């Protein structure tokens, strides 16, 4: 906004009101005052369409000024503010050369170039632009000037003498690199070129041109698209030109005005339209994300680029189809769905590529990135082995990994919910298209009729689409025609057969592309019906002009003519017509209209499209007859010029293009014979059946004109041109119902080289885009406009006094009076107020400050209310909490008391159990110690018995017998105790014996394994048994001898005295008692032997069953068997030692008893003899 508008000037009264409603002090043709250009301050440019009373108005808001702390969301300009840094105002010398007005632009292009120049002789400028012979502009320094000639010095040191009128004034250095072309003091072609070049060299690829964003393709990665940039534009902390800024404006206007928006991205092929569309979608996904569908929308880009983009001579990723992505938003501003519409896929690229170009990316990605299993299933080869792909001798793109891109495409197909089975079918169709190109034909007769060769290609195609190889061969080599009620089979020539093969390949690929788009739309249609608000992003092919231009370029350039007219309509026609309709003063700006060129295409019945459709319906029509018909009927049109042969030229808005009509009729008919459709419908795979059904549905549409051939059936009765024209008209209707936002993409060079800036190429594109005219209209006119009703409703509350008349016009005029806005800075129309650049910003700033104050008062009052309510609520809550907490505490105490009592009981039980367990352990330990001590004592006493025997001569014989008897009694008591334990073991043995009977049936299987071990054990047992039997026999003999001796002694001692007899009986009884104890020991050893043998046998059988798997147990049978063997060996040794020890002790006792008895007997007999 200029400095003049920041200081409120004195108001000049309005002298007249409607009808004309013109201010007396405003010249009728003074569109630009010096105050507008003399002070370059904070100039903010916005474009916004505000529908009012059915009119589609174009509103541009410029000059949001003041220290705005925050942009009110309700403001119609809040989403559109794009400010630049304050710049120092120009000096008096610079103001001296500012032209007082801008002349009207004539139709002459040479005059229109220098629309912002004046005669330079009267100016004292130090720098100026001069055009060199090669057409480029160079900035030179003026050394001297005269009335007609000027001496100028170039940067390279050359000095030229040129005519003064050929110089073009240059802008001061302070304006170098401004981000809005409206800020340039001199708006001429070299200044615009220099400003764009300056920003391009500093990686500032975006520049505003009024309401249009100019984007120059950098051909490299620039750091402008990180997440921090998205957040910055979202918070409005960055206001420099950017795709994000345009997209943010669109989404804010959609939410504010509840009007659908559109972002129209245009430019030549290779200018960066596809990448710009992806960047806009990225920002929309970031702002409207949250539902998850935005990720699916972004993932459609790799799919559509793989199947619809290809490498051309001018662009490595050229879109060979048009695309309109309509993104729907919910009431909360979140993305709820999307819909994709495509236009005119270049099907001919499938079967034919120019040298140095490539077919569609997906073919090369499939050949390079398919996994081995898929390659084997599809019989894939490398890309250079397929005929369709090797004809251009280009198989890769520098810096692009096709295998990695294939992985990304597969991942994207998963994201958009295309099943793995459908993905396999898609890849099979792609492979079938490649193999179709490898099908060859052989001549079978003299009339050049052919049939398909039965080779690898034919079999692979039949296998992939699921048809019979013979039927495929027949469909490619013959054609059925109906003549009356008869069917005639016609053989095809080589060219006809190849055309049939190529038509089938193109139709399969085109139907596959349409099917993919349909599946994507089904996936993205979630929640779309919940709202009618949307933002459409149009990414369509740019204007194309090659050395040889065919039918595709013809349709593409026609579409660009339509888009250019839409651009002109919104930025030129509607702008100026609205001024005229609203009755304000306006100096009309002429611009180049392309309606004549559109009429050349669309006029009926003698337009290009009409004549093309007419010639396509004639059976004998050829490309040459079509070219001659055009020359015959259209030679008088200024935009048409006939060329030699089959060529003709059309003067488009972007320049003249020469078209070669070769192939026009065939491509426009787009024939696919009924035989091929029936072949697809008979396939076992579901995709070819869907394709055939779709083509049959299209063939049922109404037909304009006769059939191409009476006996044929075409897959598409509507011509391609007619179909494309209807799609284009629907597209224009949709765009007309939206608020447009324009992005013009510029290609800086044809070599796709970063840093290279070709002035001629850029200037041509700027002329085609009409950028200079757009800036000129926006700067010299009234870009900000608002209806009386909306203006009074928006700013009426700012009035300090009530207006007598409350009609919107009176309120609006009162507002203008109150704020002292200069009359030359606005005009009042019949229905709207029109403001120059920056004037509405002061009102917006005042409104925002007032609203901020109101909000501050409201916030304070509501805060007071909230605090009072909070105090009341807090008191209630504290009281309630006290009751709740007391009740809770009581309940918790009761539970705690119950738990305490339970804990005491548990502790008592646990302590008792621990005490009992401790007592049991002490008792078991005491018993163990006692047993050890007692055993030790027995063994020691046994040793004492031996010592007593050796010292028997010295001791008393009766005492010796008593000591020995006491030890034998203790031994007998222990034997009895062992016998009781033995009986318990016998009971356990009975139980184990029952278990043994259960496993006897299984023992037979493992008897052989244990036989060797048992034989060893039996030998050892027999040895032990023999030792035991010998011990028993020896004991029995000793006993019998003792009995006989006792009887002899009894007969000999009858005559002894009673004392001697009594003593003798006592000794005899004591001698018999150890004998019975010895028998008990022997019996105990025998029982132990039986018990141990039984236990070892059972354990051995159990381990064998575990090892064989009959019984499950968590142990290692081999290790346990070794341990059992070791135990048996240890027991055997111990048992043998005890048996020998017992035998020795008993033998000693027996010998001692016999010796004593004999000695006593002999003593008695000797004593009796002596007496």
Q: Which residues are catalytic?
A: 269-270, 274, 315, 318-319, 542, 544
Contact 1067, 1050 (CB under 8 A): no
Give the Cα separation of 375 and 382 in Å (integer).
10
380-386 LR contacts (CB < 8 Å, sep 24+): 380/431, 386/434, 386/435, 386/437, 386/438
Beta strand pairing call for 335-343 and 322-329: antiparallel
Give the Cα separation of 809 and 21 in Å (integer).
12
Give the Cα separation of 105 and 864 in Å (integer).
63
Contact 568, 770 (CB under 8 A): yes
Give the Cα separation of 1026 and 1041 in Å (integer).
23
Q: How many CB atoms lie within 10 A of CB 342?
A: 19
Give the Cα separation of 1139 and 1031 in Å (integer).
9
Q: How far is CA 181 from CA 189, 192, 914, in A?
A: 11, 7, 97
Beta strand pairing call for 335-343 and 441-443: unpaired
Q: From 839, 811, 784, 837, select the one nearest 57 (Cα to Cα).
A: 784
Partners of 490 in the beta sheet?
479
Q: From 554, 780, 812, 784, select the one nearest 660 (Cα to Cα).
A: 554
Buried b (16+ CB within 10 A) or exposed e, 759-794: bebbbebbbbbbbbbbbbbbbbbbbbbbbbbbbbeb
Give the Cα separation of 720 and 762 in Å (integer).
33
Contact 409, 365 (CB under 8 A): yes
Give the Cα separation of 56 and 880 in Å (integer).
62
Contact 342, 321 (CB under 8 A): yes
Contact 82, 47 (CB under 8 A): no
Helix, strand, or coil here: 319?
strand
Give the Cα separation of 354 and 377 in Å (integer).
31
* Residues whose CB falls within 8 Å of the CB of residue 1068, separated by 6 or more in sequence, listed in order: 1046, 1049, 1157
Contact 21, 830 (CB under 8 A): yes
Contact 949, 1145 (CB under 8 A): no
Contact 655, 109 (CB under 8 A): no
Query: Tokens 């068997």 label which residue?
Result: 1121
The two tokens of residue 622 are 């050829």
Give the Cα separation of 1123 and 1129 in Å (integer).
10
Contact 558, 601 (CB under 8 A): yes
The two tokens of residue 1101 are 């059988």
Transcribe 594-625 into DSSP letters: -HHHHHHHH-TTTSHHHHHHHHHHSTT--HHH
DSSP state for residue 383 in the 8-state scheme: G
Give the Cα separation of 476 and 503 in Å (integer).
10
CA-atom Rg of the chain in angstroms: 57
Partners of 650 in the beta sheet?
640, 657
């Amino acid at each position: 906004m200029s400095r003049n508008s920041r200081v409120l000037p004195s108001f000049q009264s309005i002298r007249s009101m409607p009808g004309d409603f013109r201010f007396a002090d405003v010249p009728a043709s003074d569109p630009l005052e010096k105050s507008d250009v003399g002070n370059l301050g904070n100039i903010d440019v916005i474009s916004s369409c505000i529908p009012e009373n059915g009119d589609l108005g174009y509103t541009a808001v410029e000059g949001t000024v003041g220290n705005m702390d925050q942009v009110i969301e309700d403001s119609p300009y809040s989403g559109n503010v794009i400010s630049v840094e304050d710049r120092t105002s120009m000096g008096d010398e610079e103001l001296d050369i500012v032209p007082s007005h801008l002349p009207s632009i004539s139709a002459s292009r040479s005059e229109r170039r220098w629309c912002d120049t004046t005669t330079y002789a009267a100016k004292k400028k130090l720098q100026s632009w001069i055009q060199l012979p090669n057409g480029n502009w160079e900035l030179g320094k003026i050394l001297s000037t005269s009335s007609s000639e000027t001496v100028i010095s170039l940067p390279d040191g050359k000095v030229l003498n040129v005519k003064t009128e050929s110089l073009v004034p240059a802008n001061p250095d302070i304006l170098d690199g401004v981000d809005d072309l409206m800020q340039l003091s001199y708006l001429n072609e070299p200044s615009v070129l220099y400003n764009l070049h300056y920003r391009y060299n500093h990686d500032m690829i975006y520049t505003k041109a009024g309401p249009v964003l100019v984007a120059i393709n950098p051909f490299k990665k620039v750091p402008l698209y990180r997440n921090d940039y998205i957040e910055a534009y979202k918070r409005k902390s960055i206001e420099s030109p950017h795709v994000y800024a345009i997209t943010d404006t669109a989404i804010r206007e959609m939410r504010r005005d509840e009007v659908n928006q559109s972002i129209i991205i245009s430019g030549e092929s290779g200018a960066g339209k596809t990448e710009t569309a992806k960047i806009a979608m990225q920002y929309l996904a970031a702002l409207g994300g949250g539902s998850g569908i935005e990720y699916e929308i972004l993932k459609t880009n790799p799919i559509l680029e793989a199947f619809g983009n290809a490498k051309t001579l001018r662009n490595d990723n050229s879109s060979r189809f048009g695309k309109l992505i309509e993104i729907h938003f919910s009431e909360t501003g979140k993305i709820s769905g999307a819909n994709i519409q495509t236009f005119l896929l270049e099907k001919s690229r499938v079967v034919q590529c120019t040298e140095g170009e490539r077919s569609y990316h997906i073919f090369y990605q499939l050949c390079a990135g398919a996994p081995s299993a898929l390659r084997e299933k599809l019989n894939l080869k490398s890309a250079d082995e397929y005929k369709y792909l090797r004809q251009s001798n280009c198989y890769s793109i520098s810096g692009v990994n096709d295998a990695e891109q294939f992985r990304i495409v597969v991942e994207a197909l998963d994201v958009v919910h295309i099943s793995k089975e459908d993905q396999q079918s898609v890849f099979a169709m792609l492979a079938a298209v490649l193999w179709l190109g490898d099908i060859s034909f052989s001549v079978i007769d003299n009339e050049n009729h052919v049939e398909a060769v039965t080779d690898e290609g034919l079999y692979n195609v039949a296998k992939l689409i699921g048809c019979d190889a013979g039927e495929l061969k027949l469909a490619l080599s013959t054609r059925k025609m109906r003549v009356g009620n008869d069917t005639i089979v016609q053989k095809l020539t080589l060219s006809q057969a190849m055309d049939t093969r190529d038509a089938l390949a193109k139709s399969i690929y085109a139907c596959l592309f349409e099917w993919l788009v349909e599946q994507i739309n089904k996936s993205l249609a979630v929640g779309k019906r919940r709202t009618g608000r949307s933002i459409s992003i149009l990414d369509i092919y740019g204007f194309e002009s090659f050395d040889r231009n065919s039918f595709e370029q013809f349709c593409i350039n026609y579409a660009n003519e339509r888009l250019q007219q839409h651009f002109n309509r919104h930025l030129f026609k509607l702008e100026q017509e609205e001024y005229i309709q609203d009755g304000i003063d306006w100096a009309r700006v002429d611009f180049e209209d392309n309606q004549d060129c559109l009429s050349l295409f669309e006029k009926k019945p003698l337009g290009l499209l009409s004549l093309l459709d007419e010639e396509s319906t004639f059976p004998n029509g050829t490309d040459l007859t079509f070219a001659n018909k055009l020359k015959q009927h259209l030679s008088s049109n200024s935009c048409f010029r006939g060329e030699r042969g089959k060529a003709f030229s059309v003067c488009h808005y972007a320049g003249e293009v020469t078209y070669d009509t070769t192939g026009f009729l065939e491509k426009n008919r787009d024939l696919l014979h009924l035989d091929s459709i029936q072949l697809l419908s008979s396939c076992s795979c579901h995709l070819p059946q869907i394709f055939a059904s779709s083509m049959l549905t299209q063939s049922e549409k109404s037909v304009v004109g006769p059939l191409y051939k009476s006996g044929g059936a075409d897959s598409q009765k509507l011509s391609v041109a007619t179909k494309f024209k209807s799609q284009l008209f629907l597209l224009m209707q949709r765009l007309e119902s939206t608020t447009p936002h324009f992005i013009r993409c510029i290609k800086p060079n044809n070599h796709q080289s970063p840093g290279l800036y070709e002035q001629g190429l850029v200037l041509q594109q700027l002329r085609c885009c009409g950028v200079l005219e757009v800036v000129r209209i926006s700067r010299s006119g009234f870009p900000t406009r608002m209806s009386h009703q909306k203006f009074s409703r928006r700013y009426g509350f700012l009035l300090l006094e009530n207006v007598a008349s409350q009609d919107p016009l009176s309120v609006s005029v009162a507002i203008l009076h109150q704020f002292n806005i200069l009359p030359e800075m606005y005009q009042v129309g019949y229905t709207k107020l029109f403001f120059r650049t920056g004037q509405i910003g002061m009102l917006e700033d005042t409104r925002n400050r007032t609203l901020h104050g109101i909000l501050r008062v409201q916030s304070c009052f509501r805060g007071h209310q909230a605090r009072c309510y909070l105090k009341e609520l807090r008191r209630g809550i504290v009281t309630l909490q006290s009751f709740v907490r007391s009740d809770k505490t009581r309940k918790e105490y009761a539970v705690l008391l119950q738990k305490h009592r339970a804990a005491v009981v548990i502790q008592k039980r646990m302590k008792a159990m621990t005490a009992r367990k401790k007592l049991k352990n002490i008792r078991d330990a005491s018993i163990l110690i006692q047993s050890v001590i007692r055993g030790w004592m027995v063994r020691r006493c046994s040793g004492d018995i031996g010592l007593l025997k050796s010292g028997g001569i010295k001791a008393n014989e009766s005492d010796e017998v008593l000591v020995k008897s006491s030890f034998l009694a203790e031994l007998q008591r222990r034997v009895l105790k062992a016998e009781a334990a033995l009986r318990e073991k016998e009971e356990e043995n009975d139980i184990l014996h029952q278990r043994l009977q259960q496993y006897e049936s299984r023992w037979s299987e493992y008897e052989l394994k244990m036989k060797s071990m048992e034989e060893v054990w039996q030998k050892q047992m027999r040895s032990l048994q023999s030792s035991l039997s010998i011990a028993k026999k020896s004991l029995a003999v000793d006993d019998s001898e003792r009995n006989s001796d006792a009887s002899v002694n009894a007969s000999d001692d009858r005559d002894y005295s009673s004392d001697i007899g009594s003593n003798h009986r006592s000794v005899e009884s004591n001698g018999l008692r150890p004998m019975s104890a010895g028998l008990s020991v022997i019996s105990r050893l025998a029982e132990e032997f039986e018990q141990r043998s039984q236990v070892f046998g059972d354990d051995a059988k159990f381990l064998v069953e575990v090892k064989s798997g009959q019984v499950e147990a968590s142990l290692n049978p081999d290790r346990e068997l070794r341990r059992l063997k070791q135990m048996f060996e240890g027991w055997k040794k111990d048992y043998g030692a005890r048996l020998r020890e017992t035998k020795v002790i008993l033998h000693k006792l027996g010998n001692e008893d016999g010796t004593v008895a004999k000695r006593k007997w002999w003593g008695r007999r000797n004593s009796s003899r002596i007496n």
